[in-house]
Copies of this chain bind each other. A is one copy, B any other.
Amino acid sequence: MDRIVECVPNFSEGRDRATIQALIDAVVSVPGVRLLHHTFDYDHHRSVMTVVGDPEDVTEAMFRAIRVATDLIDLRKHAGAHPRVGATDVVPFVPIRGVSMHDCVQAARRLGHRIGTELEIPVFLYERAASHSDHAPLESVRRGGLEGLSFRMASDPDWTPDFGPTRPHKSAGAIVIGVRPPLIAFNVNLASTDLALAQSIARTVRQSNGGLRHVKAIGVELPSRRLVQVAMNLTDYEMTPIYAAFKAVQAEAARQDVLVAGTEIVGLVPAPALSEAMRHALALERFDPGQILEVRMEAELARAAQSPQPAKNAAGTK
């Protein structure tokens, strides 16, 4: 059986290479867990990993990395551009294949329980894992950073953590753990230097202002390229595909007489998220991501890796 979750932990350390390496080592110390990608940013003082594997293995790998982050990162000495509430800041689980949202929620709860009891760090569950509707949007939990969250925890019974102590850990703060569909970072560059224009298009297309569902968007400047950009997060590509977001920005840009200079997908994207754009580009009547040779190979390799191995049996029974 081929069960794959993705986990994208964010740690509040983007500068010290030894700490970043220790976090990576902790993740890959669990057999069967694969680190697909990692980035760290000096200004944000933050690192982000993309990890995949069986839900149980990934949960164990996350626990080990969070224990390392708790030992090595002291939030009292941390200042970065990015809002954060913990040494380990946010840990989203994402169903990829053979697992449901519910399976991921179970994994998130198991991890939260262990962190609360063994590491004594308060854990808030967010988005699909949230047990309290106020906690569902990540922005709500992180509002005001650790200082804002600490204040709400001390003053508002609605802000009792899901697991762990009712006060922040003194050096590690709190941790936000959740479940969400795959998130796609898709940016559209405009042939203009007018930031207000990009911001206006972002407002038109994003859900919070009545635009497309599951689209978050902001306008940003790219001074080095003399362009402005509509930077989007697509939080449910099945409901709002990449292609739909592209067409919406393109249409609004045309209405405002500005050309699309180009677009970019940042980081990884699941193959099914590409299918609609593929179908459009080639007028395909149907296109199954399983027709991509590497996707099929990956499924076969994953199946083989998870089925009993003669060599392992030999080792196990000797």
Contact = CB atoms under 8 A, between A and B. Distances in A.
Interface of A: 4, 6, 31, 34-37, 52, 96, 182, 186, 188-189, 242-243, 246, 250, 260, 262-265, 267-271, 274, 277-278, 280-287, 289, 291-302, 304-305, 309-312, 314-316, 318
Contacts of A286: 264
Contact of A52 (B297, B302, B316): B297
Given A286-B264, A298-B294, A311-B309, A304 B34 contact: yes
Q: Which of A36, A37, A246, A297 has most B Cβ within 10 Å?
A: A297
Contacts of A182: 293
A294 B294 contact: yes
Contact of A311 (B35, B282, B315): B315
B271 A293 contact: yes
Contacts of A265: 282, 284, 287, 291
Given A297-B36, A298-B294, A314-B315, A263 B284 contact: yes
A76 to B, nearest CB: 36
A207 B220 CA distance: 47
Contact of A294 (B263, B271, B277): B271
Contact of A243 (B250, B263, B282, B302): B282
B301 A302 contact: yes
A304 B298 CA distance: 12
Contacts of A4: 297
Contact of A292 (B246, B294, B309): B294
Contact of A283 (B52, B262, B312, B314): B262
Q: Which of A243, A270, A278 has most B Cβ within 10 Å?
A: A278
Given A270-B293, A292-B292, A294-B294, 16 more contacts: A6-B293, A34-B304, A36-B300, A243-B282, A246-B281, A263-B285, A264-B286, A277-B282, A278-B281, A281-B281, A289-B294, A292-B294, A301-B302, A304-B305, A309-B311, A312-B315
